[in-house]
Amino acid sequence: MSAFKPISKNWYVVRTRARSEKKVYSELTSREISCFLPMQRKLRQWKDRKKWVNLPLITGYCFVFISKNEYNRVLQTDNVVSFITFEGKAAVVPSIQIEQLKLMLMQSAFEVEAINENIEPGQKVEIVKGPLIGLEGEFVKCKSKNRFILRVEHINSLFSVELPSDYVTLLTKKHFAYSGQ
């Protein structure tokens, strides 16, 4: 009797060609590959008009939920450049981080901003009030505003949401989900 081993799927990050995130997302979806492209509505102004447009939150990246068997199918997709790697292997993004990113994007009361610079890890916190209750991440105080930071590992991007300081509480290392310790 042979044991059937279920195929495990994980979230990975693929790098796309410049300004091709939506094309990659569309192509992956048409190939029935599960993917996630974080988008946000932004007001853009031209000389003659203003318009609300949907823009990728992280330029140049798309998340895919695949098994190792689907790895090559993703790489063969038009405008996919490569997988983001860590120590020579495709970097796995924890599902909880994808879920928390989706939750942040669903909260229309808060504007989410991608920060493309390396910020040293700060105090680990959990949101205890408001629509983002239960979310964990890093807390950074910058430009005299309180910002909640969610670090997505392996892609050098951070996501921030402005929150009042009484909405968060400090966590100890043993309670923090992403410390890796």
What global pTM score does this model have?
0.71
Q: Which residues form the domain of 28?
A: 8-93
104 with 136: CB under 8 angstroms?
Answer: no
114 and 104 belong to one structural domain: yes
99 and 181 belong to one structural domain: yes
101 and 87 belong to one structural domain: no
HEC secondary structure over 95-155: HHHHHHHHHHHHCCCCCCEEECCCCCCCEEEEECCCCCCCCEEEEEEECCEEEEEEEECCC
Q: How confident is the model at residue 118 (pLDDT cuts 50, 70, 90)?
A: very low
Q: At residue 146, does pLDDT exceed 80?
A: no
Range picked from 23-27, 47-51, 53-57 for highest mean pLDDT? 23-27
Tally of domains within the chain: 2
Report how far residue 5's alpha carbon sits from residue 166's, in angstroms, rounded to the nearest whole number: 47
Q: Residue 95 is encoded by which pair of tokens?
A: 């599902």
82 and 117 belong to one structural domain: no
Sequence-distant (≥ 6) Cβ neighbours of residue 1 within 8 angstroms? none
Q: How confident is the model at residue 7 (pLDDT cuts 50, 70, 90)?
A: confident
Among 74, 93, 112, identify where a domain stops: 93
71 and 106 belong to one structural domain: no
